[in-house]
Structure 1
Amino acid sequence: MSTFSKVLYSMVGGKLKSLRINKKLSQTELSAKIPNIGRTSISNIEKGKQHPPLHILYQICNELDIDIQSILPAYSEIEKEIESKNKGEVEKFLNDQNLDDKTKKFLEKLINKNLKND
């Protein structure tokens, strides 16, 4: 299941990638402007696989000439994305099982109820 941290960094990375592309910068060009950050790190940050410290995010935003607030999603956006991703994961899991429709619906309700209570 998707966690808050995983979704947050994925959303931040996606916004950074979009902004970098809009500035017509390659990952290599951006990484060359930031000390101790390589192209692979930029790629992993954009994919949400690497969770950079705040000072690195500030440096990236500075090089993209944007305010750090512009890459941070609202708490409600993150929760909505988590709910959407979890629902998709539940549906995929249940569809991969050899279950009748009645059992699938029962399990889907049960799983979704437990997800909302977490």
Structure 2
Amino acid sequence: MSTLNFEEAGHKLLQIRLEPGQEMELCVMILECCAEEKTYRPFYEEDTTSSSRIFLKILFQELSEQMGMRALNEKLQDPTMEETFESIFPKDHPKNMRFSIDFFTSIGLGDITEKLRQLLIKRQRINR
């Protein structure tokens, strides 16, 4: 939280030595810090700046490489974690849902948005 920019934050996070299985704990910690610290919210989530998109891209690509897509997807689909990830996988408006789907698809991780895709399709059918 004390870093000057996303690059320094990313560098410090990469220096953390995690035991197998601790990857999700780091993600949860980062997301909770972002949600709780109003001062830092623009740094991570409030606006989708280039730096925040790069940060999320590197974070999720690294997680998928370390954990594997299947394990990452299982962690992201955990119902107890839904609220934690709601700003990354928003369900509030179709525009926001499409943005998230498009973002993760563009970085090669579209598989983790499958649940969001299904929800978007369901909502579109209901609104017809």
| TM-score for the superposition, normalised by structure 2 | 0.24
* Structure of greater Rg: 1
Task: Between the two structures, name the one with larger relative contact order (CA 8 Å, sep ≥ 6).
Answer: 1
Higher share in helix: 1
| TM-score for the superposition, normalised by structure 1 | 0.25
